[in-house]
Structure formats: structure tokens, C-alpha cells
A and B are shown apart, each in its own frame.
Chain A
Amino acid sequence: MARGIGGIAAIFLEEHAVLEAARKTKSEGFTKFDAISPYPIHGMEEACDIKRSWIPYVTFVTGTIGLVSGLLLTWWTSAVSWPINVGGKPFFSLPAFIPIIFELTILFAALSSVGALFYACGLPKIDPPVIDPDLTSHKFAIFVPENDTGYDVAKLERMFKDLGAVEVKKVAEY
């Protein structure tokens, strides 16, 4: 996502207030704005019109890869690379390999999903700009970047004040 973009940010104290604000901002036709909150707010996705996360697709695909690679690993090593008679069992004793395959599936899926989150949220960041330290504790904010269509400081400031923002400040970069 954008880095080093300036813009305007409004701080709220109430969850429903910031929800309101988000809805309003959206209806005003802003698209690039974002809401910041100490915890996930129920209904904020619609409010900011954020699409459903695409991480599950990653999980599914990598999970499948894990499954297949588990199958290949067990099959190739025990039946192809060096088949050995172990306890009179078949070289490819599938039932005995299932646990391995399962674990690899989970491992691949879980780790790559996390990787996906890192990518999606551009993590990790060293020392990102902070609008207000309390935003991770008990305050909420709406941030509108200056490159957003119809960006107008005065208009926005007025709008947020009306929505009950305790503070509206210009942000050099966020």
C-alpha cells in the first residue's frame, strides 16, 4: 500500500462514531481512505468497502502443494529411491504415510498463509509513522490520503468535526 503519502486524519473516541465517519466518507466518494482502530471493528469492512481477504486461496493452494509434496516424499523415498523390506510391509505402505502427509499439508498451509498476511499488510515495517499513539489503545481514526479524488482539507475537516471527531490533524506522511 501507499507509503509516505500525506493526508488528513480524524481521531474519534467511540466505535460507532468512527463507523459512522467511515460510512460517510465512503458516501462522499472517497476510495483511498482507511480507518485505524485498536481492534477489529465489526462492520468496518462494509463501511470502508473493503473486499473479502484473498488469503484463503493462498491457504488452499499451498495446503494442496503440501499434501502432494508429502505424498511424493513418502512414496519416492520408500518405494522408488531405495525400496527396503521393512517388517515385511509393502514398499509403499500408504496408510502408514498418511500422518506425514497430513502434517505437511497443515504446515505448508499455515506458514504460507502467515507469509500471505505479511505480504498483504506489507509487514514487517520498521518504525512506521504514527498518527496518534492511542490508536492502538482506545482511540479510532479515519485517514484520507491527499491523492484521493476530491481531496479538500477544509471540506473534510468540517465533515469530520460534524461526525464528532475529537481532533482533526494534517498528517505529513502516513
Chain B
Amino acid sequence: MPIKTLNIFELKTKPQHEITGHRMQHRHDVRNFGGMVFIILFAAFSVLTTGCKFQPGWGYNKGYSPEQPIPFDHSIHVSKHNIQCQYCHNQVERSTHSNIPALSTCMNCHMQVKTDSPHIQKLRDAYDKGASVEWVKVHMLPDFVRFNHAAHLKKGVNCQTCHGAIETMSRVTQNADLSMGWCINCHRQPENNAPLNCTTCHY
């Protein structure tokens, strides 16, 4: 079981700067050394708490946007050509996982479309060789968290809620921090009447 190290980060990284900062101001002031200690402790605590309250980014991969072997552009496919998400991610309504389309799916169009582009040729070669493309995974939940795509879609949650304005992204970027707090905030809303059980995601 991987230990979620994020909280350790909370403890380690941030407060350091704050503390040193304070020390600079107070070094020569011998009179209220005690006060200094108090201030430092207080600073450390407040940073520790407010830190993770108001900076949910820590240790998460919000904004992660790796380069892909083939620069697949959602904006072109979705916004320009109005291809439904489910055309490629065709199992998302049946499975907990949203599948990355098989090469055959891409080739359905790209047999004819834009065949001259080097990227498409790369794709075609892989397809003919019976090989595949190694996409870099962008949205990654911690282990022991189970997210069911089908269930959420059925409930009427649309892709953008979690993936952001994916239809405008020319390179996929992680939109939310996917932290537990982030999930819970949505599940908490009474209008969603979503379950808040631990077993909803952890089992």
C-alpha cells in the first residue's frame, strides 16, 4: 500500500521558509526570545494548516501536461469536427475505466483523413505492424481509490466536470488536483445526493 506522502510534504516543505524568514527579523532582539519562539511556532502551525487549506496543489499533479508520442489534439477532433467523446472512448459508459481507443478506431477515419501527416503515418505504421502507441497517462488517482466512469456518466456528470474544458485542449492537461478533498467537495453537495461512504471509493 503506498503511503500518501503528500501530508509529509505539507509538514516538510512549506514551513521552512516562513521560519527562517522570522528568524531573520528576530535574531538580534534578545529581550523577548520567548515571544520569538511563540511567533515561530505559531507561524509554523498556521502555515501548516492554512497551507494545505488554501493551496490544494501540493504534491498533486494539477496542471500536469506531458508531451505525448503523437500530439493528439482534442480541440481539433471535438470542437472543430464535433466528434462525440464516446466515439473514441466507447466503453466509458459500460466500464469503470474510460478506455483509450484502439488504433483501429483511429484508423477508421485516418485511413482517408490527413494521411500525409507524419504523425498519422507513425500511427499507420504501428497499426500495420500490429503494434500500438504508448500514450503517457495524465489523470492518475492514487492507488486504492476506485473511480467508476460509467456510474458518474449515468448520474449525468459530464466529462468537463473532472477533466476541464478538454474539448479546447490541444494537449491534455490535468485540470483538477484529484485530491480526496476535491472529490468529497462534490459528493458533499446535497443537490448531487452522492454517497459519502468510505466504501464508495475505498474497498
Contacts and interface: CB of A to CB of B under 8 A. Distances in A.
A–B contact at 8 Å CB threshold (below): yes
Interface of A: 82, 115, 118-119, 122-126
B31 interface: yes
Q: Which 5 A-B pairs have the closest CB atoms?
A: A118-B34, A126-B30, A124-B33, A124-B34, A123-B34
A126 B33 CA distance: 9
Contacts of B30: 125-126
A82 B38 CA distance: 31
Nearest to A127: B30
9 contacts: A82-B196, A115-B34, A115-B38, A118-B34, A119-B34, A124-B34, A125-B30, A126-B30, A126-B33
A126 B27 CA distance: 13
A125 B31 CA distance: 6
Interface residues of B, number: 7
Interface string B27-64: 00011011000100000000000000000000000000
Contacts of A115: 34, 38
Nearest to B38: A115
A136 B196 CA distance: 64
A124 B29 CA distance: 11
Nearest to B198: A84
A124 B196 CA distance: 51
Interface string B17-30: 00000000000001
Contacts of A82: 184, 196
A82 B34 CA distance: 37
Contacts of B196: 82
Question: Quick one: which of A119, A123, A124, A126 has the most chain B CB within 10 A?
Answer: A124
Nearest to B188: A82
